[in-house]
A and B are shown apart, each in its own frame.
Chain A
Amino acid sequence: MTCEEYEPETVCIFQNKSQDTLTIVVSNEYPDTLYPMDPEYIIYDLMPGDYKGIQVDYSDWYANGYVLQLFVYDASIPKLGAYLRKQHVEMAHYTLTKEDIRAMEGIVTYPPQPIKK
């Protein structure tokens, strides 16, 4: 029996076009659209003008109806945790299907911009 391992793949670039330093929480828990109970991973301190690749496991990415969720917070937020499910202090919340990411040509920006379809 073989055990298949999936390498994370960069599926889009997150670009910080604002003047704020950001923290981005990546969630694979859709259809739960609240702050994830177990965040996929967190990108800390994304400086103004900076960008970072968002990586997703192949197994998730190729699953039917995959939706990527990104929660954007001000980097000064004292602690990220499950209690943010109630607080709703995120500066932006992205719910992106594969088609959305393709339509944005793989570049997700903050502040959010309308998707051209």
Chain B
Amino acid sequence: MKRIILLTLLCQIAAIASAIRPLKYHRENYRLHDFGIAIGAYLPKAMENDLDGFVMQMRMRYLLDKDDYYGGGGVPGMTINGYYLYSLNDRISVGATIGWNGMSKYELERYDFYKNSDNVWKFKGQAQAKINARAFHLMPTVRYTWFYNSALSLYSKGSIGVYYRYMGFDYSEHGQMIHAPQEDILLAYQVTPLGIDFSDGPVRYFMELGYGAAGIFKIGISCRLHRKWQNK
């Protein structure tokens, strides 16, 4: 039984190996322009925590109550990003990743009352505030392809760059308006130990598992422009 399993495995390995058609090294062959767009999910918690910290800071300062709501700012924990990579050879590609992070929006409010001379509570006024957050990242990227054939490639990627975050605070109290935005430029990174890219042709599909500003799980579509394909 063990021999049958071993033989089956060997046959499968041989079949996979025969399917691999490594490209011969020639600079013209690897001059690939690879660009794609992806949706990422599960952003590192620290990004949302920073926003929560800002919300708490504003709540403490202006004595506001929080009323979470989801608006047109995107789904928290999601990211949309695009990339461009230029293949230096059959293994290494360099380029950049640009992306937008979906972040929560918050609405804050306060209702003020006072006790009049008859010891009865009276409404004094309302204060309202909105916090809108936006975040973008731009990261130079290096990709190393460690397995490829005509239909499938497996790769790892690393990116490091900048992360721009805008948190806007708009506050109104009895006709008084305050606009106090906070802008930060932070270090952004993305480490992708495993990426799978498949399809036989210039339009390809890919999935990535990693960690960083672009999300833990990414799925997308890419286009590889190759001299060979361009000439078709």
Known: A37-B56, A37-B59. A78 touches B113 (CB 8 A): yes
Q: B63 touching A79 by the CB < 8 A rule?
A: no
Which of A7-15, A81-89, A90-98 sits within the interface?
A81-89
Say yes or no: is B146 at the interface (Cβ < 8 Å to chain A). Answer: no
Note all chain A residues with C-beta closer than 8 A to B33.
none
Q: What residue of chain B has the Cβ atom nearest to residue A37's Cβ? A: B59
Cα of A83 to Cα of B115 in the assembled complex, Å: 14
Say yes or no: is A76 at the interface (Cβ < 8 Å to chain B). Answer: yes
Q: What residue of chain B has the Cβ atom nearest to residue A32's Cβ? A: B60
Note all chain A residues with C-beta closer than 8 A to B123.
78
Note all chain B residues with C-beta closer than 8 A to A1.
none
A62-82: contact bitstring with B at CB < 8 Å (1 yes, 0 no)? 000000000000001111011
Say yes or no: is B188 at the interface (Cβ < 8 Å to chain A). Answer: no
Main DSSP-derived SS at the A contact region: loop
Q: A81 touching B111 by the CB < 8 A rule?
A: yes
Known: A37-B59, A37-B60. A81 touches B65 (CB 8 A): yes
Size category, A interface: 10 to 19
Note all chain A residues with C-beta closer than 8 A to B225.
none
Cα of A89 to Cα of B66 in the assembled complex, Å: 21
Q: B63 touching A77 by the CB < 8 A rule?
A: no
Count B interface residues, CB 8 Å.
14
Say yes or no: is B96 at the interface (Cβ < 8 Å to chain A). Answer: no
Q: A83 touching B56 by the CB < 8 A rule?
A: no
Q: B64 touching A82 by the CB < 8 A rule?
A: yes
Say yes or no: is B226 at the interface (Cβ < 8 Å to chain A). Answer: no
Q: B121 touching A78 by the CB < 8 A rule?
A: yes
Cα of A78 to Cα of B126 in the assembled complex, Å: 13
Note all chain A residues with C-beta closer than 8 A to B28.
none
Cα of A23 to Cα of B138 in the assembled complex, Å: 51
Q: What residue of chain A has the Cβ atom nearest to residue B113's Cβ? A: A78
Q: B110 touching A82 by the CB < 8 A rule?
A: yes
Q: A81 touching B110 by the CB < 8 A rule?
A: yes
Q: What residue of chain A has the Cβ atom nearest to residue B112's Cβ? A: A83
Report the minimal beta-carbon distance from A64 to chain B, rounded to whole angstroms.
24
Interfacial residues of chain B within 98-134, with CB under 8 A of chain A in the complex = 110-113, 115, 121, 123
Q: What residue of chain B has the Cβ atom nearest to residue A86's Cβ? A: B63
Note all chain B residues with C-beta closer than 8 A to A37.
56, 59-60
Cα of A81 to Cα of B123 in the assembled complex, Å: 14
From A38, A79, A86, A89, contact of B111 by CB (8 A): A79
Cα of A54 to Cα of B59 in the assembled complex, Å: 27
Interfacial residues of chain B within 48-70, with CB under 8 A of chain A in the complex = 56, 59-60, 63-66
Cα of A89 to Cα of B115 in the assembled complex, Å: 10
What are 7 residue pairs bridging A and B, where the CB atoms are less than 8 Å apart in the complex? A37-B60, A76-B121, A77-B113, A78-B123, A81-B65, A81-B111, A85-B63
List B residues at the A interface (Cβ < 8 Å). 56, 59-60, 63-66, 110-113, 115, 121, 123
